C-alpha cells in the first residue's frame, strides 16, 4: 500500500515537472520540489539499499556526483561564493529522487502525458504573448532562448511518445502526442530562438532512423517529406517571424565580417567567443574562473581585441567555450562526462531492446535530453539558468527510472 501511494505521488510530480515547466512561472520547480521532498521521506520509509542498484544505476549516480563535486571545487577556487553552489547542487538533490522512482511502483507512462501537456501549454502561452500581448518573442517567465529550447525538448519527447503509442496501436493518444510535438516546436518558433532549431533536422533524422522498422519505409519517407514541407511553409510565412530571424542571422554575420557592426546578436556572440578563447589560452587547465573573467574582458576591451558591449554578459553563450574559458580543460572534461555517459546509458538500452518499444521509447526520450542540450549549448549556456539545470538533471533521472521499470515489467510477463 505504501509503495503504491508513493509511486502514484512520485510519478505524478515527475509528470508535473514537464506539464508546468513553461506554462507557469518557474513551473518546473513545482514538480521537482514535490518529488524531492517526497524522496526524503521515502529514504526513511522505503529504505532503498545501495546493493539494490544495478551497475548502470551506479554509473549514473557517480556521474552526477562527480559533476557536482567538480563544480563545487571550481567554486572553491573562485573564492567559495555560496551562490555558485546552488545550481550544481541540483545534481546531488536529484539522487534521492532516483532512489524513490526506482523503488516506487512504476507509472512511467505518466511522463508522456506530462510532456505532451507541457508542450501544448507552452505553445498556448507563446501564442498569447505574440498575438495578444504583441511581444516580438515569446518567453513566458524565462529568457526567450531558454523558453524556446525547452519547447523544442518537450516537442521532441512528445514525438517519441507518438511513436510509443503507434507501437501500442493507441492511435488517439498518438494523435495527441503529435499535437504536442507540433506545439513544442511551435513554441520554439514563436520564441525566435534560433539555436534550438538546429536540433530539429538532426535529432528528427535520428528519431526517424531509429523508428524505421516500426514505421516502415512509406511512413518514414512520408514523415520526412511532410516535415520538410511544413518547415518550408513556416519559413516562407513572414508572420511566424522565422524567416526574419534567419535573415537577421545572415545579415549579422555579413556585418561582422565586413567590420561594419559587431554589436548584433550574432556579432556579440563571436566577440564573446573570442574573449573566451583568450581566457582559455591564459589558463588552459583550470580556466580563469567566473570572477576572474571580468578583469580579462576589461583588458581585452582596452586593447581593442573585443568590443565593450561584451562586458555585461556573464557567460560566453556557448556551453563548451564557456567551460573552457572559466574552468579550462578539466571543466570541459566534466561537462562532456555529464553529457555523454548518461546518453551512452540510454543508447545502450536502445541497442539492447531495438524492437521493444515498451522499453526503447523511454530510453530514446532519455537520450534526447543530452542530445538536445549539446545542440543548445552551441549558442547558449544552459547550465547558467535554473531551468536549464533542472530540466536536464531531473528528466534524465525520470526517464532512466522509466526504462528500469519498463524492463522489470517485461521480465515479469
How far is residue 271's CA from residue 316's CA, in Å, rounded to a whole number?
A: 9
Could you tell me the CA-to-CA distances from 21 to 73, 117, 195, 323, 398 in Å, in that order?
Answer: 30, 10, 19, 26, 15
CB 396 within 8 A of CB 153: no
DSSP string, 28-78: HHHHHHHHHHHHHHHHHHT---GGGS-HHHHHHHHHHHHHHHHHHHHHHHT
- Please write the tens of the pLDDT for every residue from 231-275: 666 666 665 566 666 666 667 667 767 766 677 777 788 888 888
pLDDT of amino acid 413:
67
- 56 CB-contact burial (10 Å; exposed 0-12 / middle 13-18 / buried 19+): middle
- Please write the tens of the pLDDT for every residue from 223-242: 777 767 766 666 666 655 66
Cell readout for 275 is: 574573449
With 0.75 as the threshold, say if the pTM is over it: yes
CA 16 to chain centre: 16
Q: At what angle do helices 386-412 and 86-93 cross, to 10 degrees?
A: 10
For the chain of 413 residues, list the mean pLDDT of each consecutive stretch of 10.
Answer: 75 96 93 93 74 91 96 87 87 94 87 97 94 88 91 96 95 96 92 78 86 81 73 64 65 69 76 88 90 85 84 85 94 96 97 94 97 92 93 97 92 72
Domain boundaries, the chain: 2-47+71-240+320-412, 242-314
How far is residue 362's CA from residue 106's CA, in Å, rounded to a whole number?
A: 13
Residue 315 main-chain phi, psi, to 5 deg = -145, 175
Amino acid at each position: 500500500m505504501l509503495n503504491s501511494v508513493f509511486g502514484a505521488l512520485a510519478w505524478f510530480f515527475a509528470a508535473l515537472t514537464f506539464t508546468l515547466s513553461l506554462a507557469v512561472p518557474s513551473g518546473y520547480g513545482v514538480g521537482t520540489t514535490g518529488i524531492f521532498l517526497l524522496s526524503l521521506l521515502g529514504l526513511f520509509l522505503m529504505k532503498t539499499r545501495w546493493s539494490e542498484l544495478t551497475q548502470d544505476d551506479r554509473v549514473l549516480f557517480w556521474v552526477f556526483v562527480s559533476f557536482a563535486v567538480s563544480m563545487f571545487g571550481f567554486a572553491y577556487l573562485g573564492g567559495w561564493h555560496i551562490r555558485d553552489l546552488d545550481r550544481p547542487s541540483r545534481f546531488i538533490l536529484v539522487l534521492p529522487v532516483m532512489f524513490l522512482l526506482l523503488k516506487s511502483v512504476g507509472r512511467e507512462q505518466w511522463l508522456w502525458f506530462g510532456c505532451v501537456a507541457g508542450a501544448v501549454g507552452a505553445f498556448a502561452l507563446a501564442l498569447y504573448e505574440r498575438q495578444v500581448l504583441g511581444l516580438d518573442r515569446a518567453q513566458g517567465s524565462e529568457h526567450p532562448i531558454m523558453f524556446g529550447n525547452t519547447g523544442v525538448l518537450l516537442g521532441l519527447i512528445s514525438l517519441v511518445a507518438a511513436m510509443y503509442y503507434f507501437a501500442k496501436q493507441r492511435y488517439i493518444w498518438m494523435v495527441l502526442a503529435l499535437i504536442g510535438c507540433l506545439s513544442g516546436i511551435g513554441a520554439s518558433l514563436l520564441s525566435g530562438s534560433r539555436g534550438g532549431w538546429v536540433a530539429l533536422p538532426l535529432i528528427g533524422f535520428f528519431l526517424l532512423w531509429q523508428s524505421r522498422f516500426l514505421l516502415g519505409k512509406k511512413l518514414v519517407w512520408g514523415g520526412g517529406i511532410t516535415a520538410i514541407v511544413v518547415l518550408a511553409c513556416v519559413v516562407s510565412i513572414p508572420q511566424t517571424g522565422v524567416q526574419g530571424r534567419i535573415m537577421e542571422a545572415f545579415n549579422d554575420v555579413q556585418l561582422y565580417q565586413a567590420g561594419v557592426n559587431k554589436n548584433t546578436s550574432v556579432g556579440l556572440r563571436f566577440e564573446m567567443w573570442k574573449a573566451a578563447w583568450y581566457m582559455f589560452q591564459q589558463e588552459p587547465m583550470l580556466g580563469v574562473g567566473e570572477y576572474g573573467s571580468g578583469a580579462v574582458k576589461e583588458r581585452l576591451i582596452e586593447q581593442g581585441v573585443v568590443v565593450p558591449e561584451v562586458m555585461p554578459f556573464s557567460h560566453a553563450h556557448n556551453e563548451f567555450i564557456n567551460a573552457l574559458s572559466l574552468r579550462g580543460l578539466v571543466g570541459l572534461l566534466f561537462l562532456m562526462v555529464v553529457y555523454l555517459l548518461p546518453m551512452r546509458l540510454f543508447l545502450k538500452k536502445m541497442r539492447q531492446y531495438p524492437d521493444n518499444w515498451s522499453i526503447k521509447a523511454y530510453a530514446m526520450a532519455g537520450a534526447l535530453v543530452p542530445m538536445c542540450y549539446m545542440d543548445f549549448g552551441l549558442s547558449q549556456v544552459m547550465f547558467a539558468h535554473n531551468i536549464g539545470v533542472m530540466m536536464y538533471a531531473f528528466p534524465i533521472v525520470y526517464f532512466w527510472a522509466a526504462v528500469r521499470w519498463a524492463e522489470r515489467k517485461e521480465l515479469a510477463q
